[in-house]
Amino acid sequence: MEINLAGKCTLITGGTRGIGRAISLAFARANSKVVINYNSDEKAASETKSLLESEGFSPLMIKGNASDFDFGKKLSSFCIEKMGKIDILINNAGISHNTPFLLLEPEEWKKAIDVNINALYSVTHPVLRHMVDKKIHGKILNLSSVCGVRPVAAVPVHYAATKAAIVGFTYTLAKEVGRYGIQVNAVAPGLIETEFSRNLPEARRGDFKKFCPLGRIGKPEEVADVVVFLASDFNSYMTGETVLISGGL
């Protein structure tokens, strides 16, 4: 099954590292125009831009905090100005700190809420208004986590709480905007080979492999492939769902 997103314009938040980078590359390879948002990591942004350009793509990059509502409006306007429209939104911006709840400071809790939840509102609100106003039957994909769907041992409380909120956001927003022909779904990865997972103690990685039916940690590309499918015309009837990509965890 070959997915071709030619003529589609995609906005990806947090699109320069880990799963986000794999998603950016996958959408470009599917012939979508892409705008990639990042917050602060200039090195990762430069590497991602160079990677896509090495394959003949011309990504647009824009730096800014996705959790800031004023920037969310600026980001939407930038995409519309440069691409003419927004067909697909990938809400991938997020953070995770491996801090036990009893050691969690208020600032760290607030930051998790800000980045993992508030960014959903800040970016989705103006993009969705654009889709509705222009009668675009768009696709919105939100990155949650398996720990936001079912209990997973040794996962930070603040991370699990915010990822569970994304599931609720996805389901209820899909109910609200389905009448406009807009589909909203979420993807919930398990442990994926990213900077976060590579920095986990080997014992934690070993535990995951032990309890994962497929016996291994996932690859960012495996998540990106599902996201591309959900954003494509092959997905014409799924909305409000959260798809787990966890190796069966």
Q: What does DSSP assign to residue 105? A: -
Q: Which residues contact 94 (CB under 8 A, 6 or more apart)?
A: 14, 115, 116, 119, 143, 162
Q: What does DSSP assign to residue 116? A: I
Reply yes or no on whether 38 is catalytic.
Answer: no
Q: Active site residue: 159, 171, 180, 237, which one? A: 159
3-state secondary structure of 114: helix
Instruction: Return the sign of the alpha-carbon dihedral for residues 229, 78, 73, 92.
Output: positive
| Cα 176 from Cα 71, distance rounded (Å) | 24
Amino acid at 64: G
Known catalytic residues? 159
